[in-house]
Amino acid sequence: MPANDPVLHRARKPPMKPKRRWLFTTGAILLLAISGWLLAIILQPAFQHTIVITSGADGGIYRGFADRYAPILKRKGVTLEIRSSSGSIENYQRLKDPGSEYEVGFIQSGTTRPKETDDLKTIAAVSYEPIWVFYRGDTPIDRLAQLRGKRISIGVPGSGLLNVAQLLLDYSGVSASNARLFQFDAANAYQGLETGQLDAAFFIGRPDAEIQRTLLNSDLKLMSFAQADALVQKFPSLSKVIFPRGSTSIANDRPQADVTLLAATALLVAKDSLHPAFVYLLLDVASTVHGREDYFTPLGTFPNVNTDEFPVSDESIRYFKSGRPFLQRYLPFWLASFIERRLLILLPFAALLLGVLQALPRIAETRIKNRLVVWYREVKLLEDEIWRSERPSKEQISRWSDEIEQIDAHAGQIRLPQRYLPDIYALKQAIEVVRGRISHMARQTEK
Domain match, 109 and 210 both: yes
Percent of the chain predicted with pLDDT > 70: 82
Domain match, 167 and 212 both: yes
Does residue 3 fall inside a structural domain?
no
pLDDT of residue 421: 76
Model confidence at 364: pLDDT above 80: no
Domain match, 116 and 143 both: yes
| Residue that finishes a domain, picked among 264, 291, 324 | 324
Domain match, 214 and 353 both: no
pLDDT band at 36 (very low <50, low <70, confident <90, very high): low
**CATH number, domain containing residue 61:** 3.40.190.10
Are the C-beta atoms of residues 286 and 270 closer than 8 Å to each other? no
pLDDT of residue 332: 64
> What pLDDT digit, counting tens, does each position of 84-115 carry?
998 999 999 999 999 999 999 999 998 888 88
> What pLDDT digit, counting tens, does each position of 309-345 carry?
899 998 899 889 887 765 666 566 555 555 655 565 5
Does residue 420 fall inside a structural domain?
yes
Model confidence at 282: pLDDT above 50: yes
Domain match, 24 and 137 both: no
Check the CA dihedral 232-238-240-243 and report its sign.
Answer: negative
Q: For residue 256, which amino acid is it?
A: Q
139-153, 195-209, 352-366: least confident range: 352-366
Contacts of 214 by beta carbon, 8 Å cutoff, 6+ apart:
190
Average pLDDT score, the chain: 84
Question: Residue 42: helix, strand or coil by DSSP?
Answer: helix
Domain match, 197 and 132 both: yes
Does residue 394 fall inside a structural domain?
yes
Domain match, 27 and 170 both: no
Q: Domain residues for 365?
A: 18-39+345-446
* 56 phi/psi in degrees, rounded to 5: 170, -165
Domain match, 166 and 257 both: yes
Mean pLDDT computed over 162-177: 96
Model confidence at 73: pLDDT above 90: yes
What CA–CA distance (Å, rounded) separates 392 from 441? Answer: 8
Bridge partners, 92 (sequence order) = none
pLDDT of residue 43: 47
Domain match, 360 and 268 both: no
pLDDT of residue 401: 87
> What pLDDT digit, counting tens, does each position of 368-378 carry?
777 777 888 88
Model confidence at 140: pLDDT above 80: yes
Mean pLDDT comparison of 227-231, 287-291, 377-381, 435-439, highest-scoring range: 227-231
